[in-house]
Amino acid sequence: MRERNKIPKDKLIGMGSDGASNMTDCRSGLATLLRNDCEDFVNIHCLCHRLELAFRDVVKEKKVYDKLMTLLIGLH
């Protein structure tokens, strides 16, 4: 894949992803394929996405989640 897209091996150091299996699967995920090609390759699960997943886990009730999201988006 790296060769096909003409990405020099020494320029590829890592990637951030949402943690989905197509990105992180230990057999066929993109991070695994790239790590097979570049042994020092680093994959980072996006901190913002992890925070949102944790937030959704804590706020189980949809009404509360929607209210809090509206408030937080308004702050930004």
Q: Residues 8-25: pLDDT tens digits? A: 888 888 888 888 888 888
* CA-based nearest residue to 35, from 4, 13, 57: 13
Q: Where are the beta strands (DSSP E) in 1-76?
A: 14-17, 42-45
Between the CA of residue 69 and those of 13, 52, 53, what are the distances in Å? 34, 10, 13
Q: Where are the domains of the chain?
A: 1-45, 46-76
Indicate if the pLDDT at residue 1 is higher than 80. Answer: no
pTM for the model: 0.56
Q: Which residues 6+ apart lie within 8 Å of 43 measured at CB?
A: 14, 15, 16, 17, 23, 24, 31, 34, 35
Coil/strand/helix, residue 16: strand
What's the pLDDT tens digit per position in 16-50?
A: 888 888 888 888 888 888 888 888 889 888 888 88
